[in-house]
Copies of this chain bind each other. A is one copy, B any other.
Amino acid sequence: MLKLTRKVEYSLIALRHMQGKSIDSVSSTKEIATRYNIPLEILAKTLQHMAKENIIEAINGPRGGYRIKAKLKNINLAEFFEKVEGPLGLSDCFYDANCMQIEYCNIRTPIQRINANMINMFRSMSVQDITN
């Protein structure tokens, strides 16, 4: 409960890795995977996903790889998590409505409040706060 997924962690590990390099140099999937002991294929998917979200950009071909494209300082954690994993919410009735209890639920409103607190907390931190 309340855990980050590996995909998010791998994304952050990769971003931090790239952040430590000069702006124009690229990092290949293999380089990152071996460096941090991450399964290659999964990391590949993860990086492709971040590229599609314009957080990083892909350079094809040999000597290719990825480099950071967005300003990490301007992406807050709530945004980032949503880009990588989809909608955030302590309960899924906040963005989807197939809960058997929804009609009788007596805690939906209070949990909404906690949810808002949590999201605000993530909004108050940028990706750069982690990768620096």
Contacts and interface: CB of A to CB of B under 8 A. Distances in A.
Contacts of A131: 107, 110
Given A2-B3, A5-B1, A13 B105 contact: yes
Given A13-B106, A105-B13, A2 B88 contact: yes
A121 interface: yes
A99 to B, nearest CB: 9
Contacts of A38: 100-101
A89 B85 CA distance: 18
28 contacts: A1-B4, A1-B85, A2-B81, A2-B88, A2-B90, A4-B91, A4-B111, A9-B91, A9-B101, A9-B111, A12-B107, A16-B106, A17-B106, A35-B104, A36-B101, A36-B105, A36-B106, A37-B100, A37-B101, A38-B100, A38-B101, A77-B114, A107-B130, A111-B130, A114-B125, A117-B121, A118-B118, A118-B121
